[in-house]
Amino acid sequence: MNEIPEPGRATMLLRGCTRRCPRCGSGRLFHRWFVMVEECSGCGLHFEREPGYWVGAMAMNIIAVGGIFAVVFVTLLALTLPDIPVIPLLATLVPIAALGPIALYPFSKTLWSRGGPRLPARPGRPRARGRPISPSISGPGGTLT
């Protein structure tokens, strides 16, 4: 069996930030901006491990956009006080709030695909290649085996 070594957290984070498979680093995970492949063609990693798995990616997306929004908002306020230009401020912040989730969508999915909870591969489905996923799940309450 051709096993791929598990990369470190920093490597997985970097790969997720560049829309690549966090495990093997291969690209082409998206057919279009919003359509992600089900499995990595390089290592066979199945991305949606259970129904609702992408809720974490959406939460990460919202938190990231909220953080960018807050930083820009506070920076613009600090730079323009006491005469706050409301219209330019809105012209900057509304596009961030409206387009930010769209712009970060694929990145949040690739980041979450390995940064989220580590679950076993789909039961009954052999893995094409890659390292077998441990059947144990670690969480704040301990480790399930």
Give residues in contact with Zn ion (CB under 5 A). Answer: 21, 23-24, 40, 42-43, 45
The SS3 of residue 37 is coil
Instruction: Give the shortest CB-24-to-Zn ion separation in angstroms.
Output: 3
Crossing angle (nearest 10°) for helices 55-80 and 86-115:
150
How many CB atoms are closer than 10 A to CB 17?
Answer: 12
**Closer residue to Zn ion, CB minimum distance, 40 or 57:** 40
Instruction: Give the shortest CB-26-to-Zn ion separation in angstroms.
Output: 5
Instruction: Give the shortest CB-124-to-Zn ion separation in angstroms.
Output: 21
Instruction: Give the shortest CB-21-to-Zn ion separation in angstroms.
Output: 3
**Closer residue to Zn ion, CB minimum distance, 46 or 101:** 46
